[in-house]
Structure 1
């Protein structure tokens, strides 16, 4: 199967590229703005297409000949106003229609699951995720599914994770490799896509809360510093 990955240089996207290039049944393409961010050992196993997801013509051209799409579009530490996710998804879906690609797996956020709320500090980026979600929901002609991820942590995979439609099935954390594994399986296996097509799917790694808190403490400190810097820059319009 020919698979194209958007957002492959972020934390989740990197895991998708890692796992998908290890799969002999997949021929992987990474659509990126900065190819140098893909590790050399992985870059040598896939096709790199240089482009901007905000450019609809570049997106459509990259989709020609593909059979499935995984989108890991995000904003990293940036928490201000953005349309990168929603406009990127719009361009991807439009391009899929014109090139007759029918399978799509997307990374979303668990804040948008029923009964959940969005922390004030993340409202602007979550709003763009919601705009993307609304666009995806209208795509009845495409087999799509959305992984409504809680905290995405770069921790070792326990090899087990749970999924549930419209709710989180367990802990409020998912390992990047678990998230990547689920999305790859959805686009690769028709039975998995049939089960989750046109659904928001909560996903949780099988790890105790105290364990992932300890493992992710350094990353949490880095995230906190990054968020503070972003808030200061946004406040002063820098």
Structure 2
């Protein structure tokens, strides 16, 4: 018997992390991707053959339920009003019986970044973090099988090199490549029983410092 294909709905699919993940998942014969994008111009144009593209907004009350039908995994990579978007995604997942969510969030939402880097991070992005914290709280309060990834400062090195820290551990390192976060997302889609109901920091090992090296 052939194994059923894993159906993945990618929200914010034209984002830089998501683009890497789309290509990595494109190599899998056993995956079907649905890419939701607001602006098709932001797509690379060489999306893999196992990806179909939907144009529209996560907050669309008609479109999201249609796209959610029959999905196995939702991977969200969003910006802006992530708290409102999260509430809508969770409601639609519940209504369609979809259980697995991978959500990219930000470091610093629990004030978990220690030392000088923590102070610098708070100054740089602290004002933008409340909706991300609210998003994580909503996901943790739900009954879905989530993984929240709190990514370090993102850079574009062509490398996969990361480590993770637990929800209640001090954050390690200062930076991580977008490709590394995408590789972890891909791994979770391929092994959906990994890091279930986990909320982890993601960083490149040995990048401790007062701020990311590229800043």
TM-score range, shorter chain: 0.7 to 0.9
**Mapped partners of 1:42, 1:50: distance in 2:** 14
* Runs of at least 5 residues in structure 2 that lack an aligned partner in the other structure: 1-5
Question: Per-residue deviation at 1:129?
Answer: 0.5
Number of the residue aligned with 1:39: 44
**Mapped partners of 1:119, 1:170: distance in 2:** 15
**Mapped partners of 2:108, 2:162: distance in 1:** 19
Number of the residue aligned with 2:3: none
**Mapped partners of 1:98, 1:74: distance in 2:** 24
**Mapped partners of 1:153, 1:33: distance in 2:** 23
Number of the residue aligned with 1:226: none
* Runs of at least 5 residues in structure 1 that lack an aligned partner in the other structure: 76-82, 221-238
Question: Per-residue deviation at 1:180?
Answer: 1.0
Query: For each residue in 1:208-236, what CA deviation from the matched residue of structure 2 results, as whole angstroms up to 9, or x when unmatched?
Result: 569x72xx4xxx5xxxxxxxxxxxxxxxx
Q: 1:207 to 1:121 in 2, by over 3 A?
A: closer
Which one of 84, 87, 91 corresponds to residue 90 of structure 1? Answer: 87
Aligned pairs (5 A) from 1:141-180? 142-157=144-159, 159-166=160-167, 167=169, 170-180=172-182
Q: 1:43 to 1:56 in 2, by over 3 A?
A: farther
**Mapped partners of 2:203, 2:138: distance in 1:** 25
Question: Per-residue deviation at 1:188?
Answer: 2.5
**Mapped partners of 1:62, 1:138: distance in 2:** 24
Q: 1:165 to 1:135 in 2, by over 3 A?
A: same
| RMSD value, Cα | 2.2
Number of the residue aligned with 2:62: 57
**Mapped partners of 2:72, 2:148: distance in 1:** 18
Question: Per-residue deviation at 1:38?
Answer: 1.0
**Mapped partners of 1:139, 1:67: distance in 2:** 17
Number of the residue aligned with 1:105: 102
Matched positions, count: 201
Query: For each residue in 1:43-87, what CA deviation from the matched residue of structure 2 results, as whole angstroms up to 9, or x when unmatched?
Result: 654101111112232211111111101000024xxxxxxx2x111
**Mapped partners of 1:133, 1:57: distance in 2:** 25
